[in-house]
């Protein structure tokens, strides 16, 4: 499988920020990466980003509504993301689960909406600090897989991103052994739920991935790429992570 390094800009970026995307695109056009590279900017920049990244970087949205259209002020449909140039969408991110009360069932509906629009869904799962240190991390991730990943998921239409919530934006990361163990656990649960084809589904690690720890993390067993937060907004940092594969 081809690794995937996905940059999530979150609620960051103005039109001037596109110069960072231009820099990444130019470098990858001249020297292609050994992985698939993806950037998920805010919705306001997606169409402009498509004009810059076409053919070199993949683009994605950071969320979508389950419905294709309707009276949903402030929401965005998967079809709108596709129309603006996206090929991926991040769903079930811990910040959506925590700040907006999204449940596993809500995420599953959005995954199906992504597929309906022809997008690949990046489904986020992961435990909080309390869940990790109470010994419940594996059970939490297994439950989220069962509730958030529809049975129709395949390696072609779905990517899983494991994000230990307690590591996001904190500079803290699990040990290499802990990451390897969790990714193996996730793989086993995907195969249990979806069948042998899930052995080819990409599992990304997300949780304070930075240029100085990327090589160690990205070369661990069952780590098929990364979901990168703050470091993806700076072209030099994002390129160093991409090159770490």
* Residues designated as active site: 93, 163
The answer to whether 204 and 4 have CB atoms below 8 angstroms apart is yes
Angle between helices 18-30 and 43-53 (to 10 degrees): 30
How many contiguous H segments (helices) and E segments (strands) does the chain have?
10, 8
Buried b (16+ CB within 10 A) or exposed e, 162-197: bbbbbbbeeeebbeeeebbbbbebbbebbeeebeee
Half-sphere exposure at residue 70, Cβ-oriented, CA atoms within 13 angstroms: 8
* Contacts (Cβ under 8 Å, ≥6 apart) of 195: none
The answer to whether 63 and 57 have CB atoms below 8 angstroms apart is no
Which two structure tokens, joined as six digits, stand for 162?
A: 């494991």
């Amino acid at each position: 499988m081809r690794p995937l390094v996905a940059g999530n800009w979150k609620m960051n970026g103005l039109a001037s920020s596109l110069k960072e995307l231009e820099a990444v695109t130019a470098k990858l056009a001249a020297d292609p990466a050994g992985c698939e590279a993806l950037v998920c900017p805010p919705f306001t920049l997606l169409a402009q980003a498509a004009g810059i990244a076409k053919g070199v970087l993949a683009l994605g949205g950071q969320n979508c509504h389950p419905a294709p259209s309707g009276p949903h002020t402030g929401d965005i449909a998967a079809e709108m993301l596709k129309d603006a140039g996206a090929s991926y969408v991040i769903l079930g991110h811990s910040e959506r689960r925590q700040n907006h009360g999204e449940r596993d069932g809500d995420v599953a509906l959005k995954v199906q909406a992504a597929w309906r629009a022809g997008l690949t869904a990046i489904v986020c799962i992961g435990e909080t600090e309390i869940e990790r240190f109470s010994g419940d991390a594996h059970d939490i991730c297994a439950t989220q897989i069962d509730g958030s990943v529809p049975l129709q998921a395949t390696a072609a239409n779905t990517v899983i991103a494991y994000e230990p919530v307690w590591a996001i934006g904190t500079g803290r990361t699990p040990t290499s052994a802990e990451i390897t163990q969790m990714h193996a656990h996730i793989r086993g649960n995907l195969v249990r739920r979806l069948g042998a084809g899930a052995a080819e589904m990409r599992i990304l690690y997300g949780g304070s991935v930075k240029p100085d720890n990327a090589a160690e993390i990205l070369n661990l067993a069952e780590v098929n790429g990364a979901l990168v937060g703050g470091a993806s907004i700076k072209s030099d940092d994002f390129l160093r992570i991409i090159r770490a594969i």
